[in-house]
Amino acid sequence: MALTFHIPSYLAAFAGDSNSLSLDGSPATMRDALAALWVLHPGLRDRVVDEQGEVRQHINIFVGNECIRFADGLATPVPDGSEVLIVPAVSGG
Amino acid sequence: MPSVRHIAPAGGDVLILVGTMKGLFVLRSNGARKRWEPGGPYSIGSPVYAAAFDQRHGRHRLWWTQQSFRWGTSLASSDDYGRTVTEPQTYSIKFPAESGVTLKNIWQICVNAADQPDTLYCGVEPSALFESRDAGASWSLVQGLFNHPHRAKWTPGGGGMCLHTIVPHPTDRKRMMVAMSTGGVYRTVDGGKTWEARNQGVRADFLPEKHPEFGQCVHKIVQDSANPQRLFLQNHWGLYRSDDSGDSWKDIANGVPSDFGFCMVAHPHDPDTVYIVPIESDEYRCTPEGKLRVYRTRNAGASWEALTRGLPQKNALETVLRDCLSADTLDPAGIYLGTRSGKVYGSSDEGKSWQLIAEGLPAVVCVKAAVVESGAKHASRPRAKGRKTRPTRKVATKRVAASRKLARRK
């Protein structure tokens, strides 16, 4: 079953002008899912994670309603058919 | 979102690239430099700490940095004065994964000499130097400086631990000076393979040892227009000159209201001539006595004169940061400064008189002036795979729509 990524508008230009992406395969964790996403859309990677592969401080990733920061981070399991949201955090000034 | 205006400069026009905490503005004037047309903003919402204009090899290329608190820091460029902006697919300036370091900001873009038309440098935070040999398409970390044994003891100043100044030697391509806060001045004479601290005589009031080998908080260094061995230095407390390529520094704070300050620029043609804007202290960080005064020396620091005509001399509690003082190359030279309160002042007579040329901008963190060369053609460029956008109106429309939707939900 496919996994669906929901992409914020700012990043759509780096994802084929799409806000929603389907990913075939069965990645076990968010790390695996993101690795597959970077292959399809390499422009997303540097904007979502830093050089060390960590999710940038002011970006949240949800699996369904669960923020991976409060789960197992990049090791958070991604069940088949999950909806994954990449969301700009509420921050700034 | 603000509407975006584009400028269309001609040869002989003067540009001022104004990096602010909310994007890049580009001001244009003809050689008279009396009326200024604003362009931008570009990279709306992002702090722009560095900008440069590359006219080598027939280019007309604007470079600037965009430090998004969300999406990280990257370089953007435009070959048509902002109408089309190129952002690389993958960020071109990155620390190697094995370094364990992540990029926080890009503080300086240095366009090297005309005889190396494809070479650029960037100074970044945390302190490191990156180099491009292909006109900015790809960049590599200068390992000789990154692996310096002192690096573990460089510490952040108020703005972060940044390499903010890059001074290539004008003729000897193997020599270069850089400055960082904190860390101080470093020099290479072998093309970047090895680097030596060059801070003898520069004080560090904030350390137990006042004259250490390194660790000073140097805010800016500039090179004399005629003598590349002569350099000037604005320190975090202290104003200095070196006559031996940085081997030693002597105090030249003769008659200035404060030897604290951030910015410094050398006159483009006149030797021994340098401009600064003194700041009252490292706690207050505003212009002394509420007067915005540019100080100029024309004798290599033996004395300084206040330049005030047209600048506010009452209730002007201004801060002019390290990259916010710049000069064009016309004769007479134009001098420009930007303030943290969002004003840009310019002088078309080498500082004798000043006019307010922009106000109401976001806090200004970078000012770079340039004269557009005549007859240069837009060059084809080697590009990193990336996106070309007409970003501002398209993205702005989407964002406005999104915020309206959000407001309706509330």
Is the pLDDT confidence value at B140 over 60? yes
3-state secondary structure B79-145: CCCCCCEEEECCCCCCCCHHHCCCCCEEEEEEECCCCCCCCEEEEEECCEEEEECCCCCCCEECHHH
Is the residue at B9 inside a domain?
Answer: no
* Among candidates A47, A51, A54 on the partner chain, residue whose Cβ is nearest the Cβ of B71: A47
Between chain A and chain B, the number of residue pairs with CB atoms below 8 A apart is 57
Low-confidence spans in chain A with pLDDT less than 70:
1, 91-93
pLDDT band at B388 (very low <50, low <70, confident <90, very high): low
Is the residue at B2 inside a domain?
Answer: no
The two tokens of residue B277 are 């804007």
Is the residue at A93 inside a domain?
Answer: no
Q: What is the pLDDT of residue B2?
A: 86
Is the residue at A14 inside a domain?
Answer: yes
| pLDDT per residue as tens digits for the range B307-332 | 999 999 999 999 999 999 999 999 99
Tally of structural domains, chain A: 1
The verdict on B401 touching A (C-beta cutoff 8 Å) is no
List C-alpha distances in Å: A72 to A29, A63, A76, B189, B212.
9, 11, 5, 49, 46
Is the residue at B1 inside a domain?
Answer: no
CATH assignment at residue A43: 3.10.20.30
What global pTM score does this model have?
Answer: 0.92
In 3-state terms, what secondary structure has residue B314?
coil
Please give the Cα distance from B295 to B280 (Å, whole number): 14
Residue B376: burial class (beta carbons within 10 Å; 0-12, 13-18, 19+):
middle
Is the residue at A71 inside a domain?
Answer: yes
List C-alpha distances in Å: B380 to A36, B54, B368, B375.
34, 13, 24, 16
Q: What was the ipTM of the complex prediction?
A: 0.91
Please give the Cα distance from B348 to B331 (Å, whole number): 9
CATH assignment at residue B336: 2.130.10.10
> What 8-state DSSP symbol labels residue B57?
G
Q: Which residue has the higher pLDDT, A83 or B390?
A: A83
Structural domain including B117 reads: 14-409
Q: How far is A42 from chain B (nearest CA, A)?
A: 7
The verdict on B402 touching A (C-beta cutoff 8 Å) is yes
Which residues are CB-neighbours of A87 under 8 A, at least 6 positions away?
A: A8, A59, A60, A61, A62
Q: Which residue has the higher pLDDT, B255 or B282?
A: B255
Q: Which residue has the higher pLDDT, B283 or A35?
A: A35
Tally of structural domains, chain B: 1
B401 neighbourhood in chain A, CB within 8 Å: none
B390 neighbourhood in chain A, CB within 8 Å: none
Is the residue at A42 inside a domain?
Answer: yes
Is the residue at B346 inside a domain?
Answer: yes
Suggest the residue from B68, B70, B140 to mutate for an interface test with chain A (most A CBs closer than 10 A): B70
Is the residue at B161 inside a domain?
Answer: yes
Is the pLDDT confidence value at B397 over 50? no
Mean pLDDT of chain B: 91
Q: What is the pLDDT of residue B378?
A: 42
